[in-house]
Amino acid sequence: MSLRQQFVEALHNVERGAWVRLLVAIFGLALAFASALLSTASREAGDALATAVFASSALLLAGVVAVSTVPYLARRVVAHQVRDALNYEVTREGLIYLALTLLIGIAALNTGNNLLFIIVAAMLGAVLVSGIVSAVMISGMEIELHLPHHVFAGQSYAGAVLLHNRRWLPAFSISVVPPSGKRDRFEWHWQRSEFVYPPARTGRKAIIRWPDLSYVKTPGPRQPPPVIEQSVYFPYLPGGYRQSVEVNLRFPQRGLYAQRGIGVSTRFPFSFLSKTRTIALNQEVLVFPSVESTDELFEVLPMISGEVETNQRGRGSDLYRIRDYEAGDSARHVDWKATAKSGELKIREFTREDERCVCIVFDNPAPDALDSLHYERAINLSASIAWHFFQENTELSFAAPGLTGSPDVYGFLEYLATVAPRTGPEFLNTIDGQGQYHIIVTARPRGQIPTALWQSSYVLFAQE
């Protein structure tokens, strides 16, 4: 990589908001320094008014920089990570205790009673001891999460939180808690805009227009939801021991869930402070769509099963025989001439050419083709049908836009777990209608299914 490319990449990775604040701080401090020099020169010249104005300006500029820039920059250094790693919160009991300490301290100052001073010192010492002991309790802890592999939305699973005390000292009253919620992150970037005068909000005709640049704030990438959202309590953990607690996990929606860090908290020994230490953790769970039997599945499954069974009995092109109609036969194979002659329903049965499998097709629609409710229903229906035939030991294959290779049922469910609407080429036109029986879930209206595919498919319309 050339020096120029390295420089460009370094600039690309720079956080622009921090650099803007830094440049503003440098400029403000430079003005403050210049005002200080001018105040010194005015004082030596004997101009008291100018001295006061320049000195006040220097203090004001330095104060503005200190308030607006220093805290922002401080949050992006190592101190920010240290503060996140060890977080303090005063409990309700602690507030009451500190209020009593303050009252006794005021009484001691007013009366000058040495006994009250000793009591205040002892009470403040207890607060100090509480902070030190609680910090010792949560140091040296390691956490592991044992999570299930194949997870379906809407079902309950058993997981485990394993806490390892690496110190020789025992730990008391330890809670494993989710990391503290952070505010939504935003990204700053330059964007082309236009300077208009008068502004459009005034409703008057613009007199001046010229290209401009705006420094705008946009939401950052969306973070996946956490895996564990409840706390787990460990009353006692000996030194050097491991202990696990079972937790109930339930994921309401499909998609990726990720645990980015987890907290170890304690109020031991006096419950004055709740001290939390954030431990680095990076575990993910991919939640498959729900495969529970719904009313919609019960409604379409008999028809699908009948079509598949009929297709498996004879899917060739050569006529084998004409027989009486039986329950589960497809209406497509009714021989109307023989039916009219005999007065009873007659079915054409064909010779079986091969052992063709069932192909489940999810025709992923464009973003504006379905609303979110119907889209999720289409995904759940596709997953439920695939899971049903998988449990029936049916030979399956799968097809969907962006689904590569020859995935098994779990590969198809992984695809459905993270799929989103997208615009693409006409997918159904690329599917060969010969050799397989297709179960198609699509958002297309009736009449837009290719004829060759329609003859060997059962189509479920997602918008209906």
- Is residue 363 within 8 A of residue 399, CB to CB? The reply is no
Given a cut of 60, is residue 302 above it in pLDDT? yes
Handedness of CA 338, 340, 343, 344 (dihedral sign): positive
Q: Is the domain of 169 the same as that of 257?
A: yes
Q: Report whether pLDDT(121) > 60.
A: yes
SS3 label, residue 327:
coil
pLDDT at position 307: 57
Residue 341 confidence (pLDDT): 77
The mean per-residue pLDDT over the stretch 201-213 comes to 75
pLDDT digits (tens, 9 = 90+) for 135-176: 888 888 888 888 888 888 888 888 888 988 888 888 888 888
**Separation of alpha carbons 418 and 127, rounded Å:** 50
- Say which residues have a Cβ less than 8 Å from residue 111's Cβ, sequence separation at least 6: none
pLDDT value for 314: 47
What lies within 8 Å, CB to CB, of 373 at 6+ separation is none
Q: What is the pLDDT of residue 209?
A: 78
Residue 338 falls inside a structural domain: yes
Same-domain status, 143 and 155:
yes
Q: Phi then psi for 165, rounded to 5 degrees? A: -95, 105
Based on the fold, state whether residues 309 and 453 are members of the same structural domain: yes
Average pLDDT over residues 401-421: 84
- Whether residues 370 and 421 fall in one domain: yes
Number of CB atoms found within 10 A of residue 432's CB: 12
Whether a cis peptide bond, with omega within 30° of 0, leads into 269 is: yes
Query: Where is average pLDDT lowest: 81-90, 111-120, 317-326, 418-427?
Result: 81-90
Residues 264 and 171 in one domain: yes
Q: Which of 76, 101, 122 is the last residue of a domain?
A: 76
In a domain, 81, yes or no: no
Task: Calculate the average pLDDT of the chain.
Answer: 77
Number of domains present in the structure of the chain: 5
Determine the Cα angle at 248 with ends 246 and 250, to 5°: 150
The pLDDT tens digits of the residues spanning 230-285 come to: 888 888 988 888 888 888 888 888 888 888 888 888 888 888 888 888 888 888 88
**Residue pLDDT, tens place only, 363-385:** 888 887 788 888 888 888 888 88
Contact 127, 272 (CB under 8 A): yes
- Greater model confidence, 47 or 411: 411
Asked if residue 180 and residue 228 are part of one domain, the reply reads yes
Q: 335-344: long-range contacts at Cβ-Cβ below 8 A with a sequence spacing of 24 or more?
A: none
Least confident of 54-63, 123-132, 234-243, 411-420: 54-63
Q: Which residue has the higher pLDDT, 235 or 303?
A: 235
As a whole number, mean pLDDT of residues 339-358 equals 68
Is residue 459's pLDDT more than 70?
A: yes
Strand partners, 88: 275
Query: Would you call the peptide bond into 199 cis, given omega within 30 degrees of 0 as the criterion?
Result: no
Task: Determine the Cα–Cα distance for residues 95 and 363; give it in Å rounded to an integer.
Answer: 60
C-alpha span between 446 and 464 (Å, rounded): 10
Which residues neighbour 27 within 8 Å (Cβ) at sequence distance 6 or greater? none
Please check whether residues 201 and 330 belong to one and the same domain.
no
Residue 329 lies in a domain: yes
pLDDT over 80 (residue 178): yes
* Same domain flag for 173 and 252: yes
More confident residue, 448 or 13: 448
282 bridge partner residues = 260
How far from each other are the two terminal CA atoms of the chain, in whole angstroms? 56
pLDDT of residue 78: 47
The domain boundary residue, chosen from 76, 96, 125: 76
Are 97 and 214 found together in one domain? no
215 and 167 within one domain: no
- Residue 433's pLDDT band (cuts 50, 70, 90): low
For residues 242 and 232, is the Cβ–Cβ distance under 8 A?
no
Pick the residue with more confidence: 42 or 266? 266
Q: Which of 39-53, 64-78, 220-234, 325-339 has the lowest mean pLDDT?
A: 64-78
Does 112 fall in a domain? yes
* Residue 257 tokens, joined: 């869930």
What is the rounded distance in angstroms from the CA atom of residue 30 to the CA atom of residue 36?
10
- Residue 105 pLDDT: 82
C-alpha closest to that of 360 among 437, 275, 277, 452 = 437
| Contact call for residues 147 and 159 (beta carbons, < 8 A) | yes
Residue 351 · residue 359 · CB < 8 Å: no
What DSSP character marks residue 433? -
Q: Kindly indicate the confidence band of residue 83, based on its pLDDT and cuts at 50, 70 and 90.
A: very low
**Domain with 309 in it:** 295-315+354-461
Measured CA to CA, the distance from residue 464 to residue 462 in angstroms comes to 6
Burial 286-315 (b: 16+ CB within 10 A, else e): bbbbbbeeeeebeeeeeebbbbbebbbbbb
Domain boundary pick from 23, 52, 76 = 76
Q: Collapsing DSSP states into helix, strand and coil, what is residue 112?
A: coil
Tally of residues, the chain: 464
pLDDT, residue 79, reads 44
